[in-house]
Structure 1
């Protein structure tokens, strides 16, 4: 009997370039395996597929090697954060507060 397969997508995006690869994989394929099969690192040579965080439809998955895919799901390869989001918010709030104080002083 033939092995059942399903279609999934693997996506990676940079600010100026993105790639979505559609794959026909065997049922029971893990996220990590689908990413490897996508060969996304051939399009983005700087990409280390073994170290990138992964998610499905915008939600990070802590153990992608254990998470089996369902038909139609899209695995997303995430880039490392450049800045800590909490720190960025704190700086933005401080800047807004300083601007407000400057406005009220005039």
Structure 2
């Protein structure tokens, strides 16, 4: 089966397309991709939905490597609300 592992950080983008055996997991795909700069990864998603390392993949899945948030979403909303419209 074919899957893609994607890392999209603010300053760089990396991806790897892989051929893996049926029943491969997210963790196996990430290990096989061997992308550089993995120390910032805090989680995984498959097609935008949070996933665990043990989740089994399907043909055509896209595994996304997640980075820490740069700002708390509640704090960001407060700042936008305080700055007014536009």
* TM-score band w.r.t. shorter chain: 0.7 to 0.9
Which structure shows the higher helix fraction?
A: 1
Structure 1, unaligned runs of 5 or more: 1-5, 98-106
Name the residue aligned to 2:59: 71
2:46 is the alignment partner of 1:56: yes
| Corresponding residue SS for 2:77 | helix
Higher relative contact order (CA 8 A, sep 6+): 2
Aligned-residue CA RMSD (Å): 1.7
Number of residue pairs aligned between Structure 1 and Structure 2: 85
TM-score scaled by length of structure 1: 0.72
After superposition, the C-alpha distances for 1:56-105 in whole angstroms (9 at most, x for unaligned) are: 112222xx2221000000000011101101111011102217xxxxxxxx
More strand by share: 2
- Paired with 1:28 and 1:13, the residues of 2 have a C-alpha distance of 25
| Unpaired stretches in structure 2, ≥5 consecutive residues | none
Which stretches of structure 1, 4 residues or longer, exceed 6 Å deviation after superposition? none
Q: Highest CA radius of gyration, 1 or 2?
A: 1
